[in-house]
Amino acid sequence: MKPFSKILKVKLLQLGDYVAIPRFDGRYVHARIYKGAVGIFSGRHDEPQALERLLGKTPRKFYYYCSLPGGRYQKDWVFIGRVPFEDAEAMWPPAMSTTDGIYKTKPQVYWKGGFMDVTEEELKGKQPWIVHGFTALQEVVSGTYKDPWKKLRRRPADSPA
């Protein structure tokens, strides 16, 4: 696939690929494809950026995505370039907190395709594990996503429902 080309066949992307995701305002955010997740870099740009400008950067947020019947990626994403991960460990996004404050659950993280029990101390600073379909992911990067569970997450876990 050539840099800056639209992704016409949804299965063409591979682990380690860099993409530009269009926002609803016409600008782009950039991302890298991880195993089961999309790592979003900070910043918004009027045009897709060259691969050289993205290399060496670490994504600021990770979002797990749902596979949809039409394929795993949106066709309006723009392919930037392919850089294979250094090793099998690097292709995984970081561990994420699955303790959401809605249910009284023990502290857990989602990591490498499974759930692990952790201590409250180990949970601190972990990004929440959120799974999005592509429409919601585009809303998130556009800043228009409305979290339907936000009110419940703010409630202390031990308070009455």
118 with 125: CB under 8 angstroms? Answer: no
Residue 68 confidence (pLDDT): 42
Residue 155 confidence (pLDDT): 46
Delimit the domains of the chain by residue range.
17-142
Nearest alpha-carbon partner for 140 in 10, 9, 31: 31
pLDDT in tens, 58-93: 998 887 765 544 445 566 788 899 999 999 999 998
For 35-39, 48-52, 113-117, 146-150, which range has the lowest pLDDT when averaged over its residues? 146-150
Residue 123 confidence (pLDDT): 79
pLDDT in tens, 88-133: 999 998 888 876 555 556 778 888 878 888 888 887 888 777 766 6
E-state strands within the chain: 5-6, 17-22, 28-34, 37-40, 61-65, 78-82, 96-97, 108-111, 114-117, 131-132
φ, ψ of residue 91 in degrees (nearest 5):
-80, -10
Instruction: Please give the average per-residue pLDDT across 40-52, as a whole number.
Output: 92
pLDDT in tens, 7-25: 655 556 788 999 998 888 8
